[in-house]
Structure 1
Amino acid sequence: MRRDGETMGLTLAIVGRPNVGKSTLFNRLIGKRQALVDDQPGVTRDRRYGEGRIGPFRFRVTDTAGFEEAKGDTLEARMREQTERAVEEADLVLFLIDAREGVTSMDQHFLRWLRKQHRPIVLVANKSESKASFAGLGEAHRLGLGEPIPVSAEHGQGLDLLLDAIRDKLGDKAKRGEPEEADDDGAAFAAPGEEPEFEDTDAFDEAAAAAHDKAVEERPLQLAIVGRPNVGKSTLVNRLIGEERLLVGPEAGITRDSIAIDWEHRGRRVRLVDTAGMRRQAKVTDKVERLSVADTLNTIRFAEVVILVLDAEVMLEKQDLTVASLVLEEGRALLIAANKWDRIEDKPKALKKLHDRIEKSLTQAKGIAVVPVSGLTGQNLDRLIDAAFALHKQWNRRLPTAALNRWLRAMVDSHPAPLVGGRRLKPRYMTQIKTRPPTFAFFMNRPEKLPDDYMRYLTNGLRERFDLPGVPIRTTLRKIKNPYAEE
């Protein structure tokens, strides 16, 4: 499988100083608003990959942080390293300037460094939609990169000229961008595609269930990493994939975009997405942080399994519980990673305390698995991903109708539903109507009268009997149709 950053075709890197429109052009080329865009400079920090196209021409495109002069272990220096790696991987560099501002000293400084990297360069003059750009286009000629390509990434203007320039610069290598089978690597997650409801009249047998499970294993797992700022999400992801793919450091809130990485674990495909840290809503005042949180929420909605990363030294705070509840409300499978476990002294006591808190606070999905890990040392990371695959399988399970109804009869016989108006309420039949998450319909007389506590009794029994820990279970009550009622 193609890993993140690898391509069978062409790779183009978009580079330039801060706030020249790199992320806007990235979004335009991949055809979706994936990268965060704001007038504030420095929004992009990690390098981000997507599948770009201009007409029939296709390529891998990389969005980068604004290039700034910085050294040492500062955040800006680490951002610059991400840009340097993107240029190393690229077949061609799109060097963006702001045509309205003209050529700045920072543009010239960046270009001096870029020339030393020995990559083909196309000069792109962005924001060229008005007469205000004419002077800047004239100045751009003195950079010595040939004719600047006037484009407006925001309005989609000039992309045909950009394509001609890319083909001219690449020569025969441009043939690698000719039309071929497209994939969707540019999106954080493709929509999981909620399955249509099954027909209740069709019994789902063991053979069909086995075939369904096999089909699930052949699809890539869509896995999101979420949590509060500075709990070590990016460090954990870098350790998993074996490279410094994401910016990390002591500063809280380094990650702003949801960054997707294609990866493999024990031969199984994974689309891994690191997300921005989520603080309490009352503390979020910055516009870019609001955009980051919205991006994270969207990632959760399209994920299949969500790993909630906790700081093991702090454990389950109120915000952690809020995020966990949100994941379960969206119907996603939830797994908890207690990170920085190498710092915990009394590990059995800490683990028991965490389990007790989860069982007490997250009653809507009993049995949520907790895996103690260390992103710094790599402790238990294989175990974490194995647990994610096991949970994914449970989340996708389709259960045989016959087995469900044998279980239902035993549950009702063991603990009958209460009498209402002198008549016994009785769920008579059930079937699974959806997966992702498992959803079940119960058929009975007067379903509106069944108490909530009896429904919880059935749901908890269902989870225990069919081994569905940590998976949200949805249920619906339906009235049995009276065959003697008039149509």
Structure 2
Amino acid sequence: MFTLAIVGRPNVGKSTLFNRLVGRKLALVDDQPGVTRDLREGEGRLADLRFTVIDTAGLEEITDDSLQGRMRRLTERAVDMADVCLFMIDARTGITPSDEVFADILRRRSSRVILAANKAEGSAADAGVIEAYSLGLGEPLRVSAEHGEGMSELMSILRPISEEFEELAERTAPETEVAVDEHGVADLDKGKPMQIAVVGRPNAGKSTLINRLLGEDRLLTGPEAGITRDSISVPMTWKGTPVRMFDTAGMRKRAKIQDKVEKLSVSDGLRAVKFAEVVIVLLDADIPFEQQDLRIADLAEREGRAVVIAVNKWDAVEDRQARLAELKEAFNRLLPQLSGAPLVTVSALTGRGMERLQEAVFRAHDVWNRRIPTAKLNLWLSGMLEAHPPPAPGGRRIKMRYMTQAKTRPPGFVVMCSHPDKVPESYKRYLVNGLRADFDMPGTPIRLVLRSQADKNPYKDKKKKGPSKLRKHLGPKRVD
């Protein structure tokens, strides 16, 4: 499988084409230029062709350490790592001096370049398409990312490249055996990566943390708040375990969000939380447990995700022992619904605490997937009822007869009882806290459902039948 990088000036339609190739609206799209900042990867599809496609930030003629300069270096890195570069221009605007500069860069840095003239529908784009020949990158391909025109022609260009890489892969790929279980069934889900989302307020250090875990500057970072806009997924391996980590945009209070792009970014981050298995809530050591931090952590708990609290910028803290005691006290007081969840201090800048963070994520994921045998649950329930019987509202005693685990991810339990609507919330919390303590499930969300057990007498609610029609016709039964 080959890699295709889409490059070009800002606002020429790169993200729109990316979304069309992957078949989903993964990348944020807006009329204003410069929406995309990070590199976003996806699985591109054109009929039977399969390839990796990379959406890049718009190329800028800036080479300093500003935000635009760092975005340009990231795009140049994508050009170096891609097998094919698709250079997009705006056919309606025509060739600009920036296009000429970047065409020269691509001639020097990429061996395979496809020139695509976007927004080429209609006769208004004819002049721009003809002008594109002057870039010296061959015949321009007329496409419309918005309307899907030119995709068959693009597929025809990419097919020989795909066949070349498939042939190379067949010659160099080692023979592998599919792992099977004791029954001879192939385990196809064993290599499925663990989904982890890193969330928090702007400028908490989420992108820096992921770069540190990855071991390279894959994501755009800097002192400016709100750099990340898309939810970028980054694959990596932790101690032999495949992991896919999602970097999300910083989440501010809803009242402060006015910009349309920021609203789209936050929505993208919330979607990443819903699809994640483990959520790392990243806090700033200088101002931890702000109101927005609590909302973000509560959101992850309500979505049923395993939660790990990571306090970043720990290298700047002076009295660490006293500060850690304050953090734990505030955590237990402000987030009782996550009582027992791992709290790890880290420094994304220096790499301090990365091993402990990985261990905490594995531990939280293990608890999130835990299953308890039904026999143990019912033995435990008997002990809990004996230690603290449920209340008897209105003099009607509540009988809890049976308990089982209905699901995992997160753990969900069902208790069959009489009058489930009369059980107070305090008694439900008593049972949930007991499950956490006795079965070693700290921090993970636990779902407890009370259901009414159907009565075993099948004739209890049936109405008494009257005399049959024949008996009515014959009259009352004779008694001799």
Taking structure 2 as the reference length, what is the TM-score of the superposition?
0.89
Matched, 1:95 2:68: no
Give the one of 430, 440, 456 matched to 1:483.
456
Given that 2:310 and 2:344 are in contact with CA atoms closer than 8 Å, whether structure 1 keeps it comes out as: yes
SS in structure 2 at match of 1:78: helix
What SS does the aligned partner of 1:225 have?
A: strand
8 Å Cα contact 1:97-1:103 kept in structure 2: yes
Equivalent of residue 397 in structure 1, options 352, 370, 380: 370
After TM superposition, give the deviation of residue 157 of structure 1 in Å.
Answer: 1.4
* Aligned with 1:62 (options 43, 54, 58): 54
Structure 2 CA distance, aligned partners of 1:49 and 1:254? 18
Counterpart residue identity of residue 135, structure 1? A
State yes or no: 1:408 paired with 2:381: yes
Of 381, 384, 389, which residue of structure 1 is paired with 2:357?
384
Please, which of 367, 374, 391 is the counterpart of residue 347 of structure 2? 374
2:108 paired residue number: 116
Q: Check if 1:445 corresponds to 2:389.
A: no
Q: Unmatched 5+ residue regions in structure 2?
A: 171-186, 463-480
The residue aligned with 1:288 is 261
SS in 1 for 2:310: strand
Structure 1 residue 178: Cα displacement? 11
Residue 132 of structure 2 aligns to which amino acid in structure 1?
A: A
Provide the C-alpha distance between the structure 2 equivalents of 1:150 and 1:71, rounded to a whole number of angstroms. 31
Name the SS of the counterpart of 1:71 in structure 2.
Answer: coil
The answer to whether the 8 Å contact 2:85/2:110 transfers is no
More divergent stretch after superposition (279-288 vs 421-430): 421-430
The residue aligned with 1:234 is 207
Match of 2:11?
19
> Aligned in 2, Cα 1:217/1:404: closer, same or farther, shift over 3 Å?
farther
Provide, for residues 429-479 of structure 1, a one-character-per-residue CA deviation record: whole Å limited to 9, x for no partner: 111111111111111111111111111111111111111111011111100
Report the AA paired with residue 154 of structure 2.
Answer: L
Give the Cα–Cα distance (whole angstroms) in 1 for the partners of residues 310 and 243 of structure 2: 17
Distance 1:95 1:43 in 2: 18
Q: Is 1:105 the counterpart of 2:97 in the alignment?
A: yes
* Structure 1 residues 166 and 218: CA distance shift in structure 2, 3 A: closer
409, 424, 432: which one aligns with 1:436: 409
Q: Deviations over 1:215-274 (max 9, x none)?
A: 997542100011011011111100101000001110001111111111101111101111
1:120 deviation in Å? Answer: 1.2
Does residue 1:261 correspond to 2:234, yes or no?
yes
Deviations 1:262-300 (A, max 9, x none): 110111110111111101111111111000000000000
| 1:132 shift after superposition | 1.9
Alignment of 1:233-382 (within 5 A): 233-382=206-355
Structure of greater Rg: 2
Mapped to 2, the partners of 1:171 and 1:435 lie a distance apart of 41
Sequence identity percentage: 54
SS in 2 for 1:477: strand
2:280 alignment partner, SS class: strand
Pick closer, same or farther for the CA change 1:63–1:264 going to 2, 3 Å: same
Paired residues of 2:417 and 2:451 also in contact (CA < 8 A): yes
C-alpha distance in structure 2 between counterparts of 1:66 and 1:272, whole Å: 24
Q: Give the drift of 1:152.
A: 1.0
SS at match of 2:266: helix
Compute the RMSD of aligned alpha carbons: 1.8
Counterpart Cα distance in 2 of 1:215 and 1:397 = 21
The correspondence for 1:173, drawn from 153, 164, 171, is 164
Matched residue of 2:64: which SS? Answer: coil
Q: 1:138 to 1:178 in 2, by over 3 A?
A: farther
The one-letter code sitting in structure 2 at the alignment partner of 1:114 is L
Q: Secondary structure at the match of 1:433?
A: strand
- Aligned residue type for 2:164: K
Deviation at 1:418, TM superposition (A): 1.3
Residue ranges of structure 1 left out of the alignment (5+ in a row): 1-8, 180-213
The residue type equivalent to 1:173 in the other structure is: E
Q: Give the alignment partner of residue 395 of structure 2, picking from 419, 422, 425.
A: 422
1:131 aligns with 2:123: yes
Find the partner of 2:38 among 36, 39, 46: 46
Per the TM alignment, residue 315 of structure 1 is displaced from its structure 2 partner at its CA by 1.1
Give 2:193's match in structure 1, choosing from 194, 200, 220: 220
Compare relative contact order (CA 8 Å, sep 6+) and give the higher one, 1 or 2.
1
Structure-1-length-normalised TM-score: 0.88
Q: Secondary structure at the match of 2:197?
A: strand
Paired residue for 2:473?
none
- SS of the residue aligned with 2:109? coil
Q: What is the alpha-carbon distance in structure 2 between the residues aligned to residue 177 and residue 156 of structure 1?
A: 31
Cα deviation digits, residues 121-178 of structure 1 (max 9, x gap): 110011122222122111112222222111111121111111222346x496254699
Secondary structure, in 3 states, of the residue corresponding to 1:421? Answer: helix
How far apart, CA to CA, are the structure 1 residues paired with 2:189 and 2:381? 27
Q: How many residues align?
A: 444
Query: 2:250, 2:64 → 1: CA distance?
Result: 25
- Tell me: CA distance 1:385–1:117, structure 2 relative to 1, closer, same or farther (3 Å): same
Kept in 2, the 8 Å contact 1:437–1:473? The answer is yes
Q: Give the 4+ runs in structure 1 shifted more than 4 A.
A: 174-179, 214-218
Other-structure match for 1:210: none
User: Given the superposition, is the C-alpha separation of residues 72 and 99 from structure 1 closer, same or farther in structure 2, using an over 3 Å criterion?
Assistant: same
Secondary structure at the aligned position of 2:401 is classed as strand
SS in structure 2 of the partner of residue 116 of structure 1: helix
